[in-house]
Amino acid sequence: TQRKHSDAVADNLLNMNFNPVSANEVWAGDVTYLKTGEGWMYLAVVMDLYSRRIVGWHIDKRMTTDLISKALIKAYNLRQPARGLVFHSDRGSQYTSKQFGRLLLSYGIRASMGDVGACWDNAVVERFFGSLKHDWIFKVNQPTREFMKQDVTAYMKYYNLERLHSANGDLSPVEFENSQLKVSSLG
């Protein structure tokens, strides 16, 4: 996609530091393509880098600013983060659009963007997409868009509730967040 000259590019506030010290401090987002027998689907996700939990996502047959906006709105409605949260993405035209910039501003979220052509600047989300595709999506035929939506929904539930992460001490994202809440309530 071509970026308009008027679209805003944010500084890279993360510099590949993917380990915030608390939930709702840094979120990261990206979009991937998913092929079905009926054509392509596009999946936008928002991940809390603290626990690797997918806190918002949206899937559609068009890759638009609305796609990524809906994923962010779902994340915001679920988590209700304090102002100042950092949202990290690539420099795709959807993320640099005025529409998305206004949404971030309305929520008090600070934008951060990786360098051009540097997929490692969003390595954690790229790794999630690799797991989604190779551990789940590619294992069964995806005949229709509706089938893909249902399969992605099932994976999100599995990923957040059951899939173990070494970064979380071999706990799932939800288990890790719950364990940290218990620890903080003891102190």
Q: Which residues contact 2 (CB under 8 A, 6 or more apart)?
A: 93
Q: Which structure tokens are listed for 129?
A: 């997409």
Rg (CA), the chain: 16
Give 26-186's CATH code, choosing from 3.30.420.10, 3.40.50.2300, 3.40.640.10, 3.40.50.740.
3.30.420.10
On the 0-12 / 13-18 / 19+ scale of CB atoms within 10 A, 53 is: buried
Is residue 25 within 8 Å of 7, Cβ to Cβ? no
- How far is C-alpha 172 from the geometric centre of its chain's CA atoms? 16
Residue 20 has a pLDDT of: 87
Helices assigned H by DSSP within the chain: 65-79, 93-96, 98-107, 123-135, 145-161, 173-186
Beta bridge partners of 79: none
Q: Tell me, what DSSP letter sits at residue 62?
A: S
The pairing of beta strand 26-36 with beta strand 110-113? unpaired
Q: Which residues in the chain show pLDDT less than 70?
A: 1-7, 16-17, 116-121, 182-187
Residue 4 has a pLDDT of: 52
Residue 16 has a pLDDT of: 63
Query: What's the CA gap between 42 and 58, in Å, rounded?
Result: 8
DSSP labels for 130-174? HHHHHHTGGGS---SHHHHHHHHHHHHHHHHHT--BGGGTSB-HH
Residue 1 has a pLDDT of: 45
Query: What's the CA gap between 43 and 41, in Å, rounded?
Result: 7
Residue 5 has a pLDDT of: 46
Residue 26 has a pLDDT of: 96
Q: How far is CA 31 from CA 25, 45, 187, in A?
A: 21, 7, 39
